[in-house]
Amino acid sequence: MGLKPATNPDVEAATIELTIDGKTVTAKDGVSLYDVISSTGKIIPAMCYHYTFDPFGSCGMCLVMQEGKKAPVRSCTAKATAGMIIRTEGDDLFQARKKAVEKHLSVHPLDCPVCDADGHCELQDMAFQHGVTNLANAKQKFIPEDTRSLVLDFNMNRCIACAECINVCKDVLMIDALQFMKKGGFNQVVAKGDLPLSCEFCGDCLAVCPVGAITNKFSKYLYKPWQMKKTTTTCNYCGDGCQMYLETKDTEVIRVTSPLSWKNKWGDRADTAKGHGGLCVKGRFGFEYIDSPARLKQPLLRKGNQLVEVPWLEAMHAVVDRFADLRKKHGPDAIAGLITARCTNEELYLFQKLMRVAFRTNNLDSSARYGHMNFVRASKLALGIGRTTNDWEDLTKAKAVLVIGSNLTETNPLTSVRIKEAIRVYKAQVMVFDSAITNLGKLASHPYLIKPGTEGVVIDGLVKAAIELDLVDEDSVKKHPQAFAALKSAVATVSLEQVAAKTGVALERFKEAAQIFAESPRSIILCAEGIVRQPEGYQNVLKLMDLAWITGKLGQPGCGVNTVTEEPNEQGAVDMGVAPEFLPGLASFDDQAMRDKLAKSWDVTLPPAGSGAHLTEILKRCRSGQIRALYIIGENPLATLPASMDVRAALDRLELLVVQDPFLTETGHMAHAVLPATTSAEKDGTFTNLEGRVLRVRQGMDALGESVPDWQILTALANGLGCQWEYESANDIQTEIMKLLPGYYNLGQPKKILPTADHYLSNGYAAAAAGRYRTARSENARPFTLLMGQLLYHSGKLSTLAPGLIKIAPNTGRIRMNPADMERMGLQDGAMVKITSDRGSVQAGVQLDQSVAPNTCFFPEHFNEPPLKDLMSVHVDAITGVPSFKRTGVTIEKV
């Protein structure tokens, strides 16, 4: 790690001067000489170098002459020191580099015609650049290809032993799945232990391999790189918003590649703090849903008991007529709409406009309601912003990260890579409180395994410990004496001993964590599904704000309270006003100034202030018959929500159910009309990622069949209902949004914000805080806690439509249990058990899983077979309306 000080704000390195090709250059003492040379704009060959990890020094290409030395030096592993005189060009260097290329080629097969890397191969480029023509002495290795991995093939005949794959996996991803092994007289890359590759399957090793030694199973032998259309777009799986290249041929997706590549190796090391350009398994190998044969290609209308294919015109006439008729007969509030946060900002904006302008109702919601809304509402109340306070760079450079209720490697893998970098490069102290033995917990300096459902109690303990140990920031609390007095009295009854007993974490550990958090100069809180998707999520986020406030971590650069979003555009959904409580720009729905602005711009009277219904209320009103027509875009409540929410009964009662989706979902099967929408690969627009960064979604291929982008269907529907929308492209919609929300399209970096809680702390805080620390956790009367959550290899239900991901992580139909619990109960892997909650019983197999904590069991939320989700009770937050249904007490019996 010796060559990293250049980017670490905590490492003081002297500024030095050295001479490169006759020019004086300043640099930080001790950084890689190669980095200094490339910072001058000069690119010298380097086949084993990549800026994301420390130099390895094996390829012998980055040679330079240093005055005073006889032989050329490898600039990547040489450290810059004051007074160095360096020459990077000259015939001697050219010949030395040429020799290195010849050496590599002498043991490299010349099978370029059948190599996927042909045309995208650094060895080819180098051979060409250095005029290597004598290949007569090439020696063959005859190493059999290793095709045991599910996603990658290893052809070690082509390997140049640069170790980039090993280093990216070990150093950047901290997974360490690969190694060199001497076999048949050659160094070969193998999965650890020479077993079939078992890893996170991110494919970053494939991305940095400069030759064709690692190949992508999905696209092998299909096309040469130049035969495919390459479109830069944003991943549609999670809120990290990774940039990717979608490589297509006509209407077929061939592969996905990443900005991380051996071709993009000369970045500034400071850039990795903003993201290293890699992808996770979902982004890289989960693309097959896009051109899946299961895609809907034609509209469907219910005729009798059947959904039958009809032309678009017939479908739209039927939908428009039914909506218009129901609105006329029963008023606007007989209609409601739900939309997925996998839609673009432009579509989300149009959706809320359609609901409010064409239907004149405020009954609308998005999938952000499943949890993100708890964070948004708390952040809006306390800080006035309604989103996270920090970007990836802040997270990477933090000195202390408090991760609570966040299994990031599974839900937001690339955010998790940023924390890994914080650990590895910036030496952050990372405290992980979780009821599962998470991947991040294993890497963290301070992992704390807590009892399930005690996240709120943990926060009580941290706030109490900060006050008890006098870790408060005087300046922050002095400004709000009343609020601080109220907080102190609110936590007066919190006993750290009781907190320790309830959470299972020793009292001293609370003190330790509070101290690390309070005393570090840049401290960040990150809370996710274990907080925002659980009961009391809203209050728990506010309590985290309390912790940040009293320790002086609000409004300070590099500090703050953050969450992650599971779907790609949950932040965009709330920013665009897809919620009954918000107008676009996160203005309150009752905000008169914004209402006036929108009414004028849209030339309409908005639905009355205070009106509207969110997801659970919409379903309730469907069941009561108050809502008669429901328009669902990309959501599948029947498959997502547990039986206790009676979704089927709600949908059954409807007089009109219109589902718009790229697939025929369980909910779609109940619909009166199903409209085929495209995926994000077939349309333009933008997503807003978890940092608040607005990222482009670009059309990579023609729409499949007769499917149409959601924004076009929304426009047609609005016009059918009497509006006069003239949008001809996503750009037209953006222009309108830009007028209403100037500055929203911050394409590139989100603006750094330093929010203040001053208004919140001096306006009603004292009264609200009093009750916040009195929430009693309902004790689990059953011996086990069943948790449902995400797997790294899946995202919602969408990923289950990608066969490659299903191959990696199929539905085993089994609950995962801790080995100790299984042994205690005499259960073998695969044994059948009966799982009983207050809502009924389900039979399932069991599967041993070391990451599951004792007395808990886990089932992936992506699958409904067996229907474990129906064992879940639902708790709806009284303030935010967020339904929590991911945890319940269960009894497990052997059958």
CA dist 57 and 74 (Å) reads 7
Q: Is residue 333 near ligand SF4 by the rule CB under 6 A?
A: no
Whole-angstrom Cα Rg for the chain: 29
Q: Is residue 211 near ligand FES by the rule CB under 6 A?
A: no
Mapped onto helix, strand or coil, the DSSP state of residue 445 is coil
Max Cα distance, the chain (Å): 92
Q: Is residue 235 near ligand SF4 by the rule CB under 6 A?
A: yes
Q: Is residue 46 near ligand FES by the rule CB under 6 A?
A: yes
CA dist 309 and 770 (Å) reads 59
Residue of 490, 443, 488 lying closest to 470 (CA atoms)? 488
For the bound state, the minimum distance from the C-beta of residue 246 to ligand SF4, rounded and expressed in Å, comes to 12
Q: Which does 169 bind (CB under 5 to 8 A by kind): ligand SF4, ligand FES, none?
A: ligand SF4
Q: Is residue 3 near ligand FES by the rule CB under 6 A?
A: no
Q: Which does 189 bind (CB under 5 to 8 A by kind): ligand FES, ligand SF4, none?
A: ligand SF4
Q: Which does 62 bind (CB under 5 to 8 A by kind): ligand FES, ligand SF4, none?
A: ligand FES
Q: Which does 60 bind (CB under 5 to 8 A by kind): ligand SF4, ligand FES, none?
A: ligand FES
Q: Which does 594 bind (CB under 5 to 8 A by kind): ligand FES, ligand SF4, none?
A: none
For the bound state, the minimum distance from the C-beta of residue 283 to ligand SF4, rounded and expressed in Å, comes to 2
- Judged by beta carbon, residue 117 or residue 458, the one nearer ligand SF4 is 117
Are 717 and 320 spatial neighbours (Cβ–Cβ below 8 Å)?
Answer: yes
**Which range, of 56-64, 683-691, 786-794, 812-820, touches ligand FES by CB under 6 A?**
56-64
For the bound state, the minimum distance from the C-beta of residue 31 to ligand FES, rounded and expressed in Å, comes to 14
Phi/psi for 234 (5° steps) reads: -115, 140
Pull the structure tokens for residue 567: 């779907």
Residue of 208, 201, 82, 79 lying closest to 151 (CA atoms)? 201
Q: Is residue 108 near ligand SF4 by the rule CB under 6 A?
A: no
Could you tell me the sign of the dihedral formed by the alpha carbons of 34, 39, 45, 50, in that order?
positive
The H-assigned helical ranges of 69-212 are 91-105, 122-129, 164-167, 204-208
- Judged by beta carbon, residue 50 or residue 869, the one nearer ligand FES is 50
Q: What is the DSSP letter of 356?
A: I
- Token pair 């190599």 is found at 115
**Which range, of 46-54, 575-583, 794-802, 867-875, touches ligand FES by CB under 6 A?**
46-54
Pull the structure tokens for residue 342: 């996998």
Tell me the helix, strand and coil percentages in the chain, rounded to 5.
35, 20, 45
Pull the structure tokens for residue 538: 């809203």
Kindly write out the interface string for residues 251-280 of this chain, putting x where it contacts ligand SF4 by CB under 6 A and - elsewhere: ----------------------------xx
35, 153, 240, 691: which one contacts ligand SF4 (CB under 6 A)? 240
- Judged by beta carbon, residue 45 or residue 535, the one nearer ligand SF4 is 45
Are 774 and 493 spatial neighbours (Cβ–Cβ below 8 Å)?
Answer: yes
Burial 192-207 (b: 16+ CB within 10 A, else e): eeeeebebbbbbbbbb
User: Are β-strands 656-661 and 629-633 bridged in parallel, bridged antiparallel, or unpaired?
Assistant: parallel
Q: Is residue 48 near ligand FES by the rule CB under 6 A?
A: yes
Q: Is residue 166 near ligand FES by the rule CB under 6 A?
A: no
Q: What angle do CA 610, 613, 614 make, to 5 degrees?
A: 125
Count of residues that bind ligand FES according to CB under 6 A: 13
Q: Which does 577 bind (CB under 5 to 8 A by kind): ligand SF4, ligand FES, none?
A: none
- Judged by beta carbon, residue 74 or residue 693, the one nearer ligand FES is 74
50, 104, 269, 282: which one contacts ligand SF4 (CB under 6 A)? 282
Q: Which value, to the nearest 10 degrees, does the dihedral of the CA atoms of residues 826, 449, 837, 871 take?
A: -110
Neighbours of 53 (CB within 10 A): 26
Q: Is residue 237 near ligand SF4 by the rule CB under 6 A?
A: yes
**Which range, of 59-67, 166-174, 375-383, 402-410, touches ligand FES by CB under 6 A?**
59-67
- Judged by beta carbon, residue 87 or residue 696, the one nearer ligand SF4 is 696
- Judged by beta carbon, residue 201 or residue 784, the one nearer ligand SF4 is 201
Count of residues that bind ligand SF4 according to CB under 6 A: 39
CA dist 257 and 789 (Å) reads 28
Pull the structure tokens for residue 283: 């982004």
Q: Is residue 159 near ligand FES by the rule CB under 6 A?
A: no
Burial 481-517 (b: 16+ CB within 10 A, else e): eebbebbbebbeebebeebbebbbbebebbbbbbbbb
Pull the structure tokens for residue 396: 């990477």
11, 28, 57, 498: which one contacts ligand FES (CB under 6 A)? 57
Interface of this chain with ligand SF4, residues 181 to 220, rule: CB under 6 A: 189, 199-205, 208-209, 211, 213-214
Interface of this chain with ligand SF4, residues 120 to 179, rule: CB under 6 A: 159-165, 168-169, 173, 175, 177-178
- Judged by beta carbon, residue 158 or residue 327, the one nearer ligand FES is 158
Residue of 122, 133, 116, 203 lying closest to 168 (CA atoms)? 203
Chain residues binding ligand SF4 by CB under 6 A are 159-165, 168-169, 173, 175, 177-178, 189, 199-205, 208-209, 211, 213-214, 235, 237-238, 240-242, 279-280, 282-283, 412-414
Site for ligand FES, rule CB under 6 A: 46-49, 55, 57-62, 74, 76
